[in-house]
Structure 1
Amino acid sequence: MATTQHYLWAAGHFLLLICSLRYFLAKLLFRAVSSFWYKASFTGALVSYAIVCQKSLGVPQPNAAWIKRALLDENVQYFLLAFWWWTSRPVTFALLPYAIFSLFHALTFTRTTLMPQFLPPGPPAQQGAAPTPHPLAKKLQLWVKANYDNAMKAVAFTELLIMGRVIFGTLTFRDALLSPFVYAFFLRQRWYQSKFTREAIAFVHAKILGFVNSPGKPPVLSQVYTQFAGIIARFGGSSLTAAAGPNAAGAGAGAGAGAGARRQ
């Protein structure tokens, strides 16, 4: 039996989905759109992530151990980032990862909680066994399982794209000066916690290396990028070159799949 808290969690995801869809459609059609839809989207994210954080971490404790555990929690990181976006000037791409997450959460909630209330179960697989899910619920479950990894790859590449957008926005005085630093620390944690992020970074790194080292390119390009990659690697506490090696092919395949998931 779903609790009130569970329904509030789902409501946050549905709010995020509906409002972000409204915002995306306006942007795609080059129409003016109120920032209300952007704020409402991240309000939904804040509600859902706050509930998850409370369930996993409990009541906040004023001690270093609890704070450290909270900051290492992925849900807390996404909650804090959502709060940053909520308080900042709208960055359209910033909504996309949250919308993808919410799509899968909303579909799962629909299958496990809403559908059983309105759709009759299927016949049991064998006599005396429990009823099987409704065929529509089964199809939904299979779709979620089949597309989850591709969607996470899409999220990883989108989060890298957001970094570029944030840097550009700061250089053109459209975004706060702190935005690149806040987002860089977020991506640093994603590197450690998400294989999809590591694969996305490895793929992009390999592509850039191939470009700057290709015949006809001035050597200074390779030198500048090597120094830049070294700075990023020291900041992340890892080696970009090592990450780009054995995983480069797999990351390339993931990029293609991720792009497909982004269009769905």
Structure 2
Amino acid sequence: MATPQHYIWAGGHFVLLISALRYILAWVTFKAASSWWYKASYTGALISYAIVCQKSLGAPQPNAAWARRALADENVQYFILAFFWWTSKPIALTLLPYTIFSLFHALTFTRTTLMPQFLPQGPPATAGGAPTPPQLAKKLQVWVKANYDPAMKVVAYTELLILARVVLGALALSNSFLTPIIYAHFVRMRYFQSVFTKDAVHRAAYSVDRYVSKPETHPTVKQVWTTVQGLIGRWTGATLPAPGAGAAPAPAAGAAR
């Protein structure tokens, strides 16, 4: 039986999903979108992630051990980032990772909590056994499992695009210089915690390296890329493996992001 807290958590994801889709749709069609939808999206994110953080970490404790454990938690990281985006000038692209996460959470909540209440259950698998889930719920479960890993890959690449966007935005004075610093630290944490992010960083680096390695590339570009590679190595604290050796296997559907 779902608790009121569970419904509030799901409600936050539904608010995020609906508001973000409304804002992103206006953005991709070059229409003016009210920042209200942007704020509403991240308000939903803050509600949902606050509940998850509270359940996993308990009440905040005034000690360094609790703070270290909290900062290492990926849900806390996404909560802090959501608050940062909520207080910042709207950047539509930042909504996409949260929207994808909320889509899967909303679908799972619909399958496990809402459908059994409103759809007739199937016949028992065995005589005298419990009724089976509704047929639509089974199909939804199959879709979620089949599309989880590809969606997490999209999230990883999108987060790299966001990093590039805020770096260029800082140079163009469209966002603060603090934004790429904060977001780079976030992506660094994702690099160590998410196999999808690590794979995306490696593949992006390989793609640029293949382009820069062409004979016709200007030596200055090659020198700049060599410097950037060194910065990436120091930033991640790891040496990028040789091309073909860096693609890590993806975790099973439902594993930690």
Which interval holds the TM-score relative to the shorter structure?
A: over 0.9
Structure 2 match to 1:79: 79
Using the TM superposition, give the Cα deviation of residue 43 of structure 1 relative to its aligned residue in structure 2, in angstroms.
0.3
Using the TM superposition, give the Cα deviation of residue 220 of structure 1 relative to its aligned residue in structure 2, in angstroms.
2.7
Distance, in Å, in 2 between the alignment partners of 1:3 and 1:243 is: 49
Q: Secondary structure at the match of 2:31?
A: coil
Gaps (5+ residues) in structure 1?
Answer: 255-264
1:246 maps to 2:222: no
Q: Give the total of aligned pairs.
A: 250
Distance, in Å, in 1 between the alignment partners of 2:88 and 2:206 is: 33
1:17-166, aligned counterparts within 5 Å? 17-166=17-166
The one-letter amino acid paired with 1:189 is M
Using the TM superposition, give the Cα deviation of residue 243 of structure 1 relative to its aligned residue in structure 2, in angstroms.
6.6
Gaps (5+ residues) in structure 2?
Answer: 251-257
Using the TM superposition, give the Cα deviation of residue 245 of structure 1 relative to its aligned residue in structure 2, in angstroms.
4.2
Q: Secondary structure at the match of 1:231?
A: helix
TM-score by length of 1: 0.92
Runs of 4+ in 1 over 6 A off after TM superposition: none
The one-letter amino acid paired with 2:113 is T
The one-letter amino acid paired with 2:83 is F
Structure 1 match to 2:9: 9
Q: Percent identity?
A: 62
The 10-residue stretch of structure 1 (167-176 or 216-225) with the greater mean CA deviation from structure 2: 216-225
Q: Secondary structure at the match of 2:177?
A: coil
Q: Please, what is the CA RMSD of the aligned residues? A: 1.3
Q: Secondary structure at the match of 1:246?
A: coil
Distance, in Å, in 1 between the alignment partners of 2:26 and 2:242 is: 38
Distance, in Å, in 2 between the alignment partners of 1:190 and 1:108 is: 24
The CA deviation string for residues 186-222 of structure 1, in whole angstroms up to 9 with x for no partner, is 0000000000001101111000000000121123322
Give the structure with the higher percent helix: 1
Q: Say if 1:170 and 1:180, in contact at 8 Å, map to a contact too.
A: yes
Distance, in Å, in 1 between the alignment partners of 2:52 and 2:29 is: 35
TM-score by length of 2: 0.94
Q: Secondary structure at the match of 2:81?
A: helix
Q: Say if 1:202 and 1:243, in contact at 8 Å, map to a contact too.
A: no
Distance, in Å, in 2 between the alignment partners of 1:231 and 1:246 is: 20
